[in-house]
């Protein structure tokens, strides 16, 4: 039979098991029971009785020579071993079913015969402490697994000896004393102070040692062994009743198996039976028989342990509550388990779906509780796309940079037909501005795509821990929303396309913000005037410088009288032009406008310019090219006839040599035809030197523009820019609105319905609610843990 009470055994083992496996090994802090006493006082025998198994080497002389740390580990009954063939009730040394021992020093071997355990202890003792009588502080660790033991640690220690024998050192007594003190000093150790009854108690080394570490006798249990060996006529009644030596936990008398019993293999239960008989029939102990013997010792240990556990309970309880709360919280993050039943699958799916849709919507609205502070997300990101990405990409479009002077001139010519235009080539403006509006389409479409991509991203972040439990459902939800978004991408993109097409369909030159021909003219003139003025000043300076040098060469003196005319010319021309320009052209009647502008044009044409430099739009790089023209033209090095080989090569490369040829001739009828027509070679130079202008001039000889053409080109550019800005503003305004309406808001509005109609189908439930294995395991572990905590809490309730 088990020496410790089954009731406590059950409770404490369960509790400790739970606590061991969950809270952490030491939290129950069960006491160690340390057995101390002098040599051969019967320590090992007492220990054996407590465990209920016969496994410790005993005998006269020094047997226990190393500390034995004996861990009793409770295991369930059904964990049986195949090789336990002995009848447990016949053979005391044979292991019972489910009982085995393991040594720390041979961890891979299970001892099922306790006779082997005994032998191994002897061998291991000898291995470290020698075969003679020496002791050693290095402990032997032995674990006994049994369904009949309490999870408890017992420590058997070498006995105290006064006189060194064998190869014991001279200070053997001191060594042993220190060793024992080390073990019993721990506050959670219960000291079993073993004193043999046949030796005077006042000489008890055990009590002496115990008093040292436990002066109030709170955790010391006095055990009086060998009560059967007392001299006839003497008894231990005074000691056992606590009159001789005060101990709170009292003295308990015991009769262990004698050496003879051990050698005769007297079974444990028989020995215990005999002990009980002894006290019951002994005249001195008859009256206190129920407070004597190993049984009572075990009971006292139970009570002590229980008291100890009670002391620890508030702590354990508090810890359990914390753990329970944490676990419950974790479990809640996996979702509501009330929905796990089959009949609830629909509502679970509906609930998860709604949460997903809500999360999607709140992310867009920016009302989500989990807004990142590290990067823009959701709605804010869409806003950023509209304002920063889209807005600035529209801003960077230069509406005329892809139009060469030649393109414009060709457009002007084509639009006027055989006759030269009166003045403002409206048709040409129409013709040219429409393709420019198309430049807005790519950024607009990109805007739609970016928002679409952002929405896709948002729908990927709408999951939760709960949803991650059902990866297939999550994937499906994302899929349906992605489909919805993709579906809306077409209409949104088409709408944006038509926004551009609409703008191209009708060029509203009556738009209040449109510059208008006259104002554009004014702008062009101002710019040109500025340049012309600067040029004239420069020319005059050069002229004067030349003359002065000449005169200096002639008479060595400077003649300042020539300085006068220039400023006059400058002033006169400039102010005259300014007068025209400063007129409020827009307010004029169309005819006046035409005439006025025409007048300006005429006066511009009238101002004699020796330079062909008329390309004044700085954005196109024409000015630089004209600069080259200027030089080549002035030098009179127009290589009209390129080297035959070079020319042939270029002709073959150029698509329309005849066109460029034909373009030159009509110019002749104009009064100031530029004298330079660059040939291929010059084009090559231009491309090397001219940068931007290179491409358009490298096409095999561009005829220089006449003044009028140059001005018309500038005018067209100004008009295009002005009109383009109007359209750009409108597109910048309308595209985000369209995207919001057709893509973002639409998806927000229908997402819930779409999810329900696509996924809320009985036939899909099974598939959708497939639980992710990893999450499932986590959840189940969590559930198990919570269950454990609840049980532990219940056990604690029972103990109290
Ligand atoms: P230890 O050295 O303190 O561990 O003492 P043991 O348990 O080895 O016992 C020493 C010897 O005393 C052994 O031969 C035991 O059989 C014997 N012995 C121990 N307790 C009793 C007892 O209560 N009565 C009798 N008759 N012999 C005992
Ligand atoms: Mg011993």
- Encode 634-654: b = buried (16+ Cβ within 10 Å), e = exposed: eeeeeeeebeeeebeebeeeb
The bound ligand whose nearest atom lies closest to the alpha carbon of 122 is 2
192 belongs to a structural domain: yes
361 belongs to a structural domain: yes
255 lines ligand 1 (CB under 6 A): yes
Distance (Å, whole) CA 253 – CA 186: 25
Q: Which atom of ligand 1 is nearest to the CA of 40?
A: 2
User: Which of 683, 711, 739 finishes a domain?
Assistant: 711
- pLDDT tens digits, one per residue of 40-80: 899 989 988 888 778 788 776 678 889 998 888 777 776 44
The bound ligand whose nearest atom lies closest to the alpha carbon of 121 is 2
User: Residues 127, 273: one domain?
Assistant: yes
Structure tokens at 394: 């529209």
- Domains in the chain, number: 3
Q: State which of 34, 37, 45, 159 you would mutate to test the pocket of ligand 1, scoring each by most atoms of that ligand within 8 A of its C-beta.
A: 45
Residue-by-residue DSSP string for 329-398: HHHHHT--GGG-SGGGHHHHHHHHHHHHHHHHHHHHHT--S---SSS--HHHHHHHIIIIIIHHHHHT--
Instruction: Give the mean pLDDT of 304-327.
Output: 78
The bound ligand whose nearest atom lies closest to the alpha carbon of 225 is 1
Percentage of the chain lying above the pLDDT 70 cut: 70
Q: State which of 40, 65, 66 you would mutate to test the pocket of ligand 1, scoring each by most atoms of that ligand within 8 A of its C-beta.
A: 40
User: Residues 418, 521: one domain?
Assistant: no
The angle at the Cα of 602, spanning 600 to 608, to the nearest 5 degrees, equals: 110
Q: State which of 42, 64, 263, 276 you would mutate to test the pocket of ligand 1, scoring each by most atoms of that ligand within 8 A of its C-beta.
A: 42
Distance (Å, whole) CA 637 – CA 397: 39
What's the CA-to-centroid distance between 28 and ligand 2, angstroms?
A: 29
Residue-range definition of the domain harbouring residue 635: 517-533+569-711
Q: State which of 58, 61, 194 you would mutate to test the pocket of ligand 1, scoring each by most atoms of that ligand within 8 A of its C-beta.
A: 58
What's the CA-to-centroid distance between 116 and ligand 1, angstroms?
A: 20
- pLDDT tens digits, one per residue of 486-507: 999 999 999 999 999 999 999 8
Structure tokens at 580: 């025209």
Does residue 428 carry a pLDDT above 90? no
Are the C-beta atoms of residues 3 and 49 closer than 8 Å to each other? yes
297 lines ligand 1 (CB under 6 A): no
788 lines ligand 1 (CB under 6 A): no
Are the C-beta atoms of residues 236 and 227 closer than 8 Å to each other? yes
- pLDDT tens digits, one per residue of 613-668: 333 333 333 333 333 333 333 333 334 443 343 333 333 333 333 333 333 333 33
User: Residues 521, 498: one domain?
Assistant: no
Q: Rounded to the nearest 5°, which phi and psi values hold at 153?
A: -115, 125
The angle at the Cα of 235, spanning 231 to 241, to the nearest 5 degrees, equals: 155
User: Residues 390, 252: one domain?
Assistant: no
**Residue bearing the CA closest to ligand 1, atom 19:** 42
- pLDDT tens digits, one per residue of 654-682: 333 333 333 333 333 333 333 333 333 33
What CATH number does residue 130 fall under?
Answer: 3.40.50.300
633 belongs to a structural domain: yes
Q: Which atom of ligand 1 is nearest to the CA of 197?
A: 23
Instruction: Give the mean pLDDT of 458-482.
Output: 88
Strand-pairing partners, residue 196, are 225
293 lines ligand 1 (CB under 6 A): no
Does residue 36 carry a pLDDT above 90? yes
Are the C-beta atoms of residues 43 and 209 closer than 8 Å to each other? no
User: Residues 696, 738: one domain?
Assistant: no
What's the DSSP call for residue 799? H
* pTM score: 0.47
Question: Residue 120 to residues 43, 144, 153, 195, 537: CA-CA distances in angstroms?
Answer: 19, 14, 19, 27, 119
421 belongs to a structural domain: yes
User: Residues 398, 265: one domain?
Assistant: no
59 lines ligand 1 (CB under 6 A): yes
198 lines ligand 1 (CB under 6 A): no
294 lines ligand 1 (CB under 6 A): no
Say what the pLDDT of residue 750 is: 93
What's the CA-to-centroid distance between 157 and ligand 1, angstroms?
A: 14
Instruction: Give the mean pLDDT of 84-88.
Output: 41
């Amino acid at each position: 039979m088990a020496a410790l009470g089954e009731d406590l055994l059950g409770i404490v083992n369960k509790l400790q098991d739970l606590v061991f496996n969950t809270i952490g090994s030491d939290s129950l802090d069960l006491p160690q029971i340390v057995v101390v006493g002098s040599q051969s006082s019967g320590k090992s025998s007492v220990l054996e009785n407590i465990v209920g198994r016969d496994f410790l080497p005993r005998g006269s002389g020094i047997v226990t020579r190393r500390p034995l740390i004996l861990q009793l580990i409770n295991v369930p009954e059904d964990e049986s071993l195949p090789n336990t063939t002995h009848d447990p009730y016949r053979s005391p040394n044979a292991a019972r079913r489910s009982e085995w021992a393991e040594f720390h020093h041979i961890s891979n071997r299970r001892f099922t015969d306790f006779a082997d355990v005994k032998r191994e202890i002897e061998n291991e003792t000898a291995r470290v402490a020698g075969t003679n009588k020496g002791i050693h502080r290095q402990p032997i660790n032995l674990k006994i697994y049994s369904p009949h033991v309490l999870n408890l640690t017992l420590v058997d220690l070498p006995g105290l000896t006064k006189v060194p024998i064998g190869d014991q050192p001279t200070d053997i007594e001191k060594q042993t004393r220190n060793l024992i003190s080390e073990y019993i000093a721990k506050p959670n150790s219960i000291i079993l102070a073993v004193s043999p009854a046949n030796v005077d108690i006042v000489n008890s080394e055990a009590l002496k040692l115990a008093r040292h570490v436990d002066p109030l006798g709170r955790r010391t249990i006095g055990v009086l062994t060998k009560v059967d060996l007392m001299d006839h006529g003497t008894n231990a009644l005074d000691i056992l009743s606590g009159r001789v030596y005060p101990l709170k936990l009292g003295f308990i008398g015991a009769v262990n198996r004698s050496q003879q019993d051990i050698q005769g293999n007297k079974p444990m239960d028989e020995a215990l039976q005999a002990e009980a008989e002894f006290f019951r029939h002994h005249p001195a102990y008859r009256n206190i028989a129920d407070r004597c013997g190993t049984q009572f010792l075990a009971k006292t240990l139970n009570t002590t342990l229980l008291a100890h556990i009670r002391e620890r309970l508030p702590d354990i309880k508090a810890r359990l509550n914390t753990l329970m709360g944490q676990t419950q919280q974790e479990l809640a993050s996996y979702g509501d388990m009330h929905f796990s039943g089959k009949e609830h699958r629909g509502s679970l799916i509906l609930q998860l779906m709604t949460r997903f849709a809500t999360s999607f919507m709140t992310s867009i609205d920016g009302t989500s509780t989990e807004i990142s502070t590290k990067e823009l997300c959701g709605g804010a990101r869409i806003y950023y796309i509209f304002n920063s990405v889209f807005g600035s990409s529209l801003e960077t479009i230069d509406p005329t940079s892809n139009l060469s002077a030649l393109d414009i001139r060709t457009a002007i010519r084509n639009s006027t037909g055989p006759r030269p235009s009166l003045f403002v080539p409206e048709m040409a403006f129409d013709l040219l501005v429409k393709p420019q509006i198309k430049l807005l389409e790519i950024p607009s479409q990109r805007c739609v795509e970016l928002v679409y991509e952002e929405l896709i991203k948002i729908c990927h972040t709408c999951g939760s821990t709960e949803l991650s439990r059902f990866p297939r459902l999550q994937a499906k939800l994302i899929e349906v929303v992605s489909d919805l978004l993709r579906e809306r991408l077409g209409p949104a993109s088409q709408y944006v396309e038509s926004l551009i097409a609409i703008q191209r369909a009708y060029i509203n030159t009556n738009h209040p913000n449109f510059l208008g021909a006259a104002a554009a003219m004014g702008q062009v003139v101002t710019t040109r005037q500025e340049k012309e003025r600067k040029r004239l000043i420069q020319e005059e300076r050069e002229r004067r410088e030349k003359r002065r040098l000449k005169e200096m060469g002639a008479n060595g003196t400077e003649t300042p009288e020539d300085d006068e005319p220039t400023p006059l010319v400058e002033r006169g021309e400039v102010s005259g032009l300014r007068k025209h320009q400063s007129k409020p052209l827009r307010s004029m009647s169309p005819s006046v406008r035409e005439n006025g502008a025409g007048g300006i044009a005429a006066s511009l044409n009238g101002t004699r310019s020796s330079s062909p430099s008329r390309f004044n739009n700085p954005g196109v790089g024409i000015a630089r090219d004209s600069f080259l023209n200027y030089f080549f033209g002035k030098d009179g090095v127009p290589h009209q006839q390129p080297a035959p080989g070079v020319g042939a090569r270029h002709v073959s490369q150029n698509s329309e040599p005849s066109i460029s040829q034909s373009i030159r001739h009509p110019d002749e009828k104009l009064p100031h035809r530029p004298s330079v027509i660059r040939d291929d070679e010059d084009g090559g130079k231009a491309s090397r030197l001219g940068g931007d202008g290179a491409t358009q001039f490298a096409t095999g000889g561009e005829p220089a523009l006449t003044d009028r053409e140059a001005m018309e080109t500038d005018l067209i550019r100004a008009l295009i820019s002005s009109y383009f800005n109007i359209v750009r503003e409108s597109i910048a305004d309308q595209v985000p609105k369209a995207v919001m309406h057709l893509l973002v808001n639409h998806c927000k509005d229908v997402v819930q319905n779409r999810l329900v109609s696509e996924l809320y189908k009985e036939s899909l439930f099974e598939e959708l609610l497939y639980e992710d294995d990893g999450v499932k395991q986590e959840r189940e572990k969590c559930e198990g843990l919570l269950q454990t905590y609840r049980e532990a809490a219940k056990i604690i309730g029972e103990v109290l």
